[in-house]
């Protein structure tokens, strides 16, 4: 297809018009700036009131979030950090969900100043995976133990909506025997990170059966946005991106995910942008984002801004980003990726992160190439944590946390406002705990190294003990607990993919 024909189909800015208010979008920079300006010196009492509000699993206002970000007293930060972990425990219990990214193509018509895939980066070796290669990549990812993928695409006529649909179907079609047990296994949930799309394309994605659709705004600050995304590119249209998830909701994709690329502009402004975005989605569709991502700018080939931006976020401030978001938006999942180094990840997991990736490869075809002992050909940015899934699972087990591969939510209709309502009332976390244990059992039997299995067995026993002692699971003569144990025993005997 010719470029202009493709663009006419892929980019329909007129679909935004109905969401605008007299031509204005919902990011009111004056409101954000004055929230930041006017809430610098909250008293300790006021901060403690905000902490208590967040602990009741209520979202915070822009002003309240700004007050938290301006706290300077280390003792108050200790209280905020402790509250973040408490909120995470209440909503998500002690589990971490794992996923792997799968980069299908690095072709891109856009020219984002921070990204290795930008069109002007002539040093990048361009590649698009064939369906056969996607199948091989999926097999390699499955061999590590993953059940969830996030498929990542540049924006290009060759990796268009039809390519996305075909590659997603290819992933779902793969079956593989697990290395330790020899049981059959497959990817159970495919999430997508791709450019904004028009309604018609989003409906095709929905029909294909995706989990979450992620679009990061990169920066909510309009001047910075236009500086890093050239005007003559599709990505140069701030509003087309800002309303990507409104259109997704309208197309029936009700698990949507927001994010900002931290390091392009002031981190405090971006946090308020995310809070405003979540509030807008909740107001318009009755359901906020399923997850919030906080990618931090890392080195990308030939990109000056990726290492020299004046807004690069220090480790200390980055921890504040995660903590404050956990309080401000208590119920969406919070994703930290392999962009972060192990030492930061370790701390952040304690501050409220609920999902992360592992065994990560971001080069095109990199899972296969690594198996073949070849070097990566092309990457979008640099990763900070190349550890294997088994290693990270062992580490989080040592921290007392259970790793989850649960994909039950979207497969039994717990999506959108259903799952958000359950999370707000701290009920979904309970189902997740059961399904975390079930999928952990599968992992230990199918993939775990002897060291990970040893520590995992102790943790799983502990978890079952906790479940047994919770009233929620023992109601109606312990029906839920008994159903769970029946599934658990069946999994031990070799049955797979059963959930509550
Ligand atoms: N092309 C699609 C888009 O722009 O929405 C999605 C794919 S893009 C490969 C996924 C995300 O990677 C971007 O939204 C951006 O936040 C992030 N990213 C790009 N360059 C980065 C860098 N140098 N460091 C960290 N993250 C980066
Ligand atoms: Fe393309 Fe996305 Fe990279 Fe921008 S961030 S250059 S749109 S792949």
Distance CA 192, CA 194 (A): 6
Q: What is the pLDDT of residue 374?
A: 42
Angstrom CA distances, 407 to 54, 199, 430, 431, stand at 27, 26, 14, 11
Q: What angle do CA 270, 273, 276 make, to 5 degrees?
A: 155
Q: Report the half-sphere exposure of 159 (CA within 13 A, side-chain side).
A: 25
Distance CA 131, CA 102 (A): 13
Q: What is the pLDDT of residue 377?
A: 42
Nearest C-alpha to atom 4 of ligand 2 is from which residue? 112
Q: Ligand 2 centroid to 225 CA: how many Å? A: 13
Mean of the pLDDT values across residues 135-145? Answer: 96
Distance CA 261, CA 242 (A): 14
Q: Ligand 2 centroid to 341 CA: how many Å? A: 23
Nearest C-alpha to atom 5 of ligand 1 is from which residue? 195
Q: Is the CB of 155 under 6 A from ligand 1?
A: yes
Q: What is the pLDDT of residue 375?
A: 43
Q: Ligand 1 centroid to 195 CA: how many Å? A: 10
Angstrom CA distances, 305 to 55, 265, 296, stand at 38, 11, 12
Q: Ligand 2 centroid to 69 CA: how many Å? A: 30
Nearest C-alpha to atom 20 of ligand 1 is from which residue? 115
Mean of the pLDDT values across residues 428-447? Answer: 89
Of the candidates 180, 166, 87, 91, the one whose C-alpha atom is nearest the C-alpha of residue 134 is 166
User: Mean pLDDT lowest for which of 38-42, 96-100, 395-399, 405-409?
Assistant: 405-409
Give the pTM. Answer: 0.95
Inform me whether the pLDDT recorded for 47 exceeds 90. yes
Residue with tokens 């990061």: 216
Inform me whether the pLDDT recorded for 251 exceeds 90. yes
User: Mean pLDDT lowest for which of 11-15, 225-229, 335-339?
Assistant: 335-339
Q: Where are the domains of the chain?
A: 3-27+85-415, 428-492
Best mutation site among 11, 114, 115, 361 for ligand 1 pocket (most ligand atoms within 8 Å of CB): 115
DSSP class of 119: T
* Residue % of the chain over a pLDDT of 70: 93
Best mutation site among 126, 192, 295 for ligand 1 pocket (most ligand atoms within 8 Å of CB): 295
Instruction: Please report the beta strands in 26-153, taking only residues with DSSP state E, as ranges in sequence order.
Output: 95-105, 148-153
pLDDT band at 373 (very low <50, low <70, confident <90, very high): very low
The number of the ligand 1 atom at minimal distance from the alpha carbon of 193 is 6
H or E element that contains 356: strand 355-357
Residue 78, both tokens = 């200790």
Contact assessment for residue 410 and residue 255, using Cβ atoms and an 8 Å cutoff: yes
Q: Report the half-sphere exposure of 473 (CA within 13 A, side-chain side).
A: 22
Distance CA 435, CA 408 (A): 7
Q: Ligand 2 centroid to 244 CA: how many Å? A: 15
Q: What is the pLDDT of residue 413?
A: 64
Of the candidates 359, 358, 414, the one whose C-alpha atom is nearest the C-alpha of residue 96 is 358
Distance CA 50, CA 63 (A): 10
The number of the ligand 2 atom at minimal distance from the alpha carbon of 115 is 3
Inform me whether the pLDDT recorded for 498 exceeds 60. yes
pLDDT digits (tens, 9 = 90+) for 50-63: 999 999 999 999 99
Ligand nearest to the CA of 339: 1
Residue 489, both tokens = 């025993």
pLDDT band at 424 (very low <50, low <70, confident <90, very high): low
User: Mean pLDDT lowest for which of 166-180, 210-224, 347-361?
Assistant: 347-361
Mean of the pLDDT values across residues 344-368? Answer: 90
CA dihedral sign of residues 180, 182, 183, 185: positive
CA dihedral sign of residues 23, 27, 29, 30: positive
Distance CA 374, CA 363 (A): 12
Inform me whether the pLDDT recorded for 376 exceeds 60. no
Angstrom CA distances, 271 to 180, 267, 292, 307, 353, stand at 43, 6, 11, 21, 15
Best mutation site among 119, 126, 155 for ligand 2 pocket (most ligand atoms within 8 Å of CB): 155
Q: Is the CB of 235 under 6 A from ligand 2?
A: yes
More confident residue, 197 or 124: 197
User: Mean pLDDT lowest for which of 230-239, 369-378, 444-453, 459-468?
Assistant: 369-378
pLDDT digits (tens, 9 = 90+) for 381-421: 778 998 999 999 999 999 999 999 988 866 666 666 666 66
Contact assessment for residue 44 and residue 61, using Cβ atoms and an 8 Å cutoff: no
Of the candidates 249, 318, 341, the one whose C-alpha atom is nearest the C-alpha of residue 290 is 249
Radius of gyration of the chain (CA): 22
**Pairing label, strands 189-193, 148-153:** parallel
Distance CA 468, CA 481 (A): 7
Q: Is the CB of 121 under 6 A from ligand 1?
A: no
User: Mean pLDDT lowest for which of 239-248, 272-281, 304-313, 406-415?
Assistant: 406-415
Q: Is the CB of 115 under 6 A from ligand 2?
A: yes
Contact assessment for residue 239 and residue 13, using Cβ atoms and an 8 Å cutoff: yes
Q: What is the mean pLDDT of the chain?
A: 92
**First-residue to last-residue Cα distance in the chain:** 46
Of the candidates 367, 364, 345, 366, the one whose C-alpha atom is nearest the C-alpha of residue 356 is 345
CATH of 3-27+85-415, one of 3.40.50.2000, 3.20.20.70, 1.10.240.10, 3.40.50.970: 3.20.20.70
Q: Is the CB of 155 under 6 A from ligand 2?
A: yes
Q: Is the CB of 348 under 6 A from ligand 1?
A: no
């Amino acid at each position: 297809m010719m470029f202009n024909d493709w663009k006419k189909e892929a980019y329909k800015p007129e679909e935004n018009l109905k969401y605008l208010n007299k031509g204005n979008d919902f990011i009111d920079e004056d409101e954000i700036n004055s929230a930041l300006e006017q809430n610098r010196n909250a008293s300790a009492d006021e901060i403690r009131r905000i902490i208590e509000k967040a602990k009741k699993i209520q979202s915070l206002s822009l002003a309240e979030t700004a007050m938290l970000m301006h706290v300077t007293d280390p003792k108050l930060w200790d209280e905020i950090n402790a509250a973040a972990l408490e909120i995470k425990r209440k909503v998500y219990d002690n589990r971490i969900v794992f996923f792997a990214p799968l980069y299908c193509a690095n072709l891109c018509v856009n020219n984002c100043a921070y990204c290795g895939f930008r069109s002007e980066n002539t040093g990048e070796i361009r590649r698009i995976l064939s369906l056969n290669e996607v199948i091989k990549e999926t097999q390699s990812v499955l061999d590590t133990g993953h059940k969830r993928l996030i498929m990542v695409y540049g924006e290009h006529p060759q990796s268009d909506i039809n390519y996305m649909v075909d590659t997603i179907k290819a992933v779902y079609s793969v079956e593989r025997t697990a290395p330790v047990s020899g049981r059959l296994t497959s990817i159970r949930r495919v999430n997508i990170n791709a450019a904004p799309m028009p309604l018609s394309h989003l409906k095709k994605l929905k029909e294909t059966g995706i989990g979450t659709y992620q679009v990061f705004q990169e920066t909510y600050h309009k001047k910075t946005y236009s500086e890093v995304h050239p005007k003559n590119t599709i990505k140069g249209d701030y509003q087309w991106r800002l309303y990507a998830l409104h259109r997704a909701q309208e197309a029936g994709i009700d698990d949507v995910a927001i994010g900002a690329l931290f390091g392009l502009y002031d981190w405090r402004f971006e946090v308020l942008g995310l809070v405003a975005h979540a509030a807008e989605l909740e107001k318009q569709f009755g359901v906020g984002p399923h997850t919030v991502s906080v990618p931090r700018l890392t080195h990308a080939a030939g990109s000056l801004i990726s290492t020299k931006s004046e807004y690069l976020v220090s480790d200390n401030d980055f921890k504040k980003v995660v903590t404050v978001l956990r309080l401000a938006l208590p119920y969406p999942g919070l994703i930290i990726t392999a962009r972060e180094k192990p030492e930061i990840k370790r701390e952040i997991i304690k501050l409220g992160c609920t999902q992360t990736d592992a065994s990560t490869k971001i080069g095109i075809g990199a899972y296969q190439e690594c198996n073949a002992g070849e070097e990566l050909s092309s990457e979008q940015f640099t990763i900070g944590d190349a550890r294997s899934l088994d290693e990270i699972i062992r580490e989080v087990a040592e921290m007392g946390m259970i790793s989850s591969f649960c994909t039950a939510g979207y497969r039994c209709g717990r999506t959108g406002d259903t799952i958000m309502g359950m999370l707000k009332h701290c009920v979904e976390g309970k189902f997740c705990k059961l399904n975390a244990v079930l999928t952990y059992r599968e992992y230990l039997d199918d993939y775990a190294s002897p060291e990970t299995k040893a520590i995992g067995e102790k943790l799983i026993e502990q978890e079952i003990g906790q479940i047994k002692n919770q009233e929620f699971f023992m109601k109606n003569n312990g029906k839920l607990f008994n159903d769970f144990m029946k599934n658990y025993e069946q999994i031990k005997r070799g049955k797979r993919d059963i959930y509550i």
